[in-house]
Amino acid sequence: MEFSSIGAEDSLLEAKSRLDGNDVLVVWGREKIIGILTEEHLEKQGNCGQVCELDILVDPSPVKASIWKPKYVIVTEDGEPVLVSHEP
């Protein structure tokens, strides 16, 4: 999936412009990834952190991912997201 990043406190208007050309936005809290934002989330009210999808796992083991079955899995390298995948 094509993705970019956005802060939890950023507006949905900013998210709309950053989603252009991307499938999802990785939403950052102060220091950690807290969720995923998609086009469907833009219809809600609030900021990016309030409306993002929280059903994610960051760097899970294959066993943990198969047990928890999150909507999104985010793989990081040196703390930065490098891959986002959606549940099958």
Q: What is the pTM of this model?
A: 0.94
Nearest to 5 by CA among 62, 70, 63, 58: 58
pLDDT tens, residue by residue, 56-87:
999 999 999 999 999 999 999 999 999 999 98
Decide yes or no: CATH 3.10.580.10 for domain 3-86. yes
Given this model, what pLDDT does residue 3 score? 97
pLDDT tens, residue by residue, 4-45:
999 999 999 999 999 999 999 999 999 999 999 999 999 999
pLDDT above 80 (res 88) = no
CA distance 39 to 36: 10
Domain ranges of the chain: 3-86
Given this model, what pLDDT does residue 87 score? 80
Dig out the tokens for 22 from the structure.
């991307």
What backbone phi and psi angles, to 5 degrees, belong to 10? Answer: -70, 155
